């Protein structure tokens, strides 16, 4: 691309509210260092005006104009990968429900182009490839996500109509999503609601924090059990009313009870306990309820704690794992 040319990029709906530097990296496939160099050189305009702040939030439909030569990569349709094992608990022509193992990224993105849940699903359900277009090009059928380190239930659409219907249910907050999590400390109230907006940290864009300018976020919780040994912890059942990035992890950390094993939000092992793998917080999507997009039947799915988390509970419950 000659130096006097420009690259005109449209901000997709999926990047609403992101910092402009992160959005630019995701759209182009450039590294954060390369994006910082572009911004530092004053080569990026937004809304026909020169960009002056890396932390400026972008909005769907805005245009980012990059001046000069770059090699945009951008999102690409993922390839099937039969080596990725995806535990499927339900499947029909409209949707798939999986029980995601911890450590598996849901869909390709910058730095994770292969070996994701989507790559594995494409090998088993090739029809998903028909949904890999537009904003969905790198995440066909995905309507919600789980963090890499979180295990449990996730629904994936197999048709565009199914995807639109499930997305509408999520927006209307009628999809039931319940998580089991172990947090440090004894949560005082037996139940409660954390109603606090979340936004990305200006210091670390990979971390969320409570801030008045953030997006609305609501998490309900109830205490299942409290334990004193080897350290004070509480087992909670959490229900999402919204679906923000890292919502449960950030919300619980904000009230002084970080998720056990969550290094990013202050849940590091204490006294060497527990011995969870790096990047594995004690967080499991245990219940999922939704209305079938075609039959309108109420569907409900349950997933027991995965063995690594059940082992942690056995360490603090001599009579065996708690009944949850």
Return the C-alpha torsion angle 154, 159, 161, 164, nearest 10.
Answer: 30
Q: What are the CA-CA distances from residue 225 to residues 182, 216, 237, 239 (Å)? A: 9, 28, 10, 16
- Dump the DSSP string for 161-199: HHHHHHHHHHHTT-SEEEEEEEEES--SSSEEEEE--EE
- Which residues are registered as beta bridge partners of 91? 96
**Backbone conformation region of residue 247, classed left if phi is above 0, alpha if psi is from -120 to 50, else beta:** alpha
C-alpha 266/C-alpha 138 separation (Å) is 32
Place of tokens 């959005």: 23
- Strand (E) or helix (H) holding 224: strand 218-227
- Which residues are registered as beta bridge partners of 153? 99
C-alpha 146/C-alpha 153 separation (Å) is 9
Tokens of 249: 């992890």
263 is known as an active-site residue: no
Cβ pair 161, 170 in contact under 8 A: no
Question: Which among 138, 147, 165, 262 is annotated as catalytic?
Answer: 147
SS3 for 10? strand
- Contacts with 50 (C-beta within 8 Å, 6 or more apart), sequence order: 42, 44
From the CB of residue 219, how many other CB atoms can be counted at a distance below 10 Å? 26
- Strand (E) or helix (H) holding 222: strand 218-227
Place of tokens 């050189």: 41
Give the residue numbers marked as catalytic.
147
């Amino acid at each position: 691309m000659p130096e006097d040319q420009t690259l005109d990029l449209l901000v997709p709906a999926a990047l609403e509210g992101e910092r402009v530097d992160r959005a630019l990296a995701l759209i182009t496939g450039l590294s954060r260092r390369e994006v910082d160099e572009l911004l530092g050189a004053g080569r990026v305009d937004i809304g026909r005006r020169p960009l002056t702040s890396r932390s400026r939030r972008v909005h769907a439909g805005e245009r980012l104009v990059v001046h000069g030569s770059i090699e945009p990569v951008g999102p690409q349709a993922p390839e099937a990968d039969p080596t990725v094992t995806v535990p499927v608990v339900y499947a029909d022509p409209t949707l798939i429900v999986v029980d995601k193992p911890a450590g598996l990224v849901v869909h390709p993105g910058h730095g994770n182009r292969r070996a994701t849940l989507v790559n594995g699903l494409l090998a088993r359900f090739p029809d998903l490839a028909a949904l890999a277009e537009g904003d969905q090009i790198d995440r066909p059928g995905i309507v919600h996500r789980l963090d890499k380190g979180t295990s449990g239930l996730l629904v994936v659409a197999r048709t565009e109509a199914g995807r639109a219907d499930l997305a509408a249910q999520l927006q209307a907050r009628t999809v039931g999503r319940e998580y089991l999590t172990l947090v440090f400390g004894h949560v005082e109230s037996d139940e409660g609601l954390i109603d606090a907006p979340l936004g990305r940290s200006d210091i670390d864009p990979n971390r969320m924090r409570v801030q008045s300018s953030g997006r609305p976020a609501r998490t309900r919780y109830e205490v299942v059990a409290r334990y004193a040994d080897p350290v004070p912890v509480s087992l909670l059942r959490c229900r999402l009313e919204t679906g923000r990035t890292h919502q449960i992890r950030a919300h619980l950390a904000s009230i002084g009870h970080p998720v056990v094993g969550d290094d990013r939000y202050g849940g590091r092992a204490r006294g060497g306990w527990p011995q969870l793998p790096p990047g594995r917080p004690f967080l499991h999507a245990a219940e999922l309820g939704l209305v079938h997009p075609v039959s309108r039947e109420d569907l409900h799915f349950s997933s027991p704690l995965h063995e690594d988390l059940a082992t942690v509970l056995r360490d603090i419950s001599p009579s065996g794992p708690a009944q949850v």
